Amino acid sequence: MNTNRNPVGWFELYVQDIERAKTFYQNTFQVTLERLETPGIELWAFPMGMDVPGASGAIVKMDGKDSGAGGTLIYFSCADCAVEASRALQNGGRIQKEKMSIGDYGFIALVLDTEGNMIGLHSPQ
């Protein structure tokens, strides 16, 4: 593994209803997703910058790949994870775990999106 960069380079959240998922993520994180043209896959990417730390990714609709519970948990960086958790609830998601301290590492909250995917929210405060 290259130690000059973060270990995660990309993520994909699989969804069943792309329009519902786009609305959820755009409203929860106050961003605009961009369509990436990929044969056989409908893919909408989160804003990304090649010269900034962290990984970007997309919501994806692909035949043969289910959404929902799995073994991977993606954490989105936030200024205050309670804000995005509240927005997630307002946009059809569910709060699985309210904002909680993780000691010196800040705070996290866990939410379920409209497609049944659990995502993490992390903030320093």
pLDDT in tens, 9-50: 789 999 999 999 999 999 999 999 999 988 888 999 999 887
What average pLDDT does this structure show over 76-97?
96
Are the C-beta atoms of residues 76 and 25 closer than 8 Å to each other? no
Range of the domain at 34: 10-123
Return all residues near 78 (Cβ < 8 A) that are at least 6 apart: 84, 121, 122, 123
| Predicted confidence (pLDDT) per residue in 59-80, tens digit | 999 887 888 877 788 999 999 9
Residue 64 placed within a domain = yes
Query: Does 99 score more than 90 pLDDT?
Result: yes
Query: Does 8 score more than 90 pLDDT?
Result: no
Residue 2 placed within a domain = no
Residue 35 placed within a domain = yes
Residue 117's SS3 state is: coil
Are the C-beta atoms of residues 112 and 24 closer than 8 Å to each other? no
Residue 106 placed within a domain = yes
Residue 57 placed within a domain = yes
Based on the structure, what is the number of domains in the chain?
1
Tokens read off for 115: 């497609």
CA distance 48 to 44: 12
* CATH number where 85 lies: 3.10.180.10
Residue among 70, 72, 68 at smallest CA distance from 116: 68
Query: Does 90 score more than 70 pLDDT?
Result: yes
**38 vs 3, more confident:** 38
Residue 5's pLDDT is what? 63
Length of the chain measured in residues: 125
Q: pTM, whole model, 2 decimals?
A: 0.83
**3 vs 40, more confident:** 40
Residue 21 placed within a domain = yes
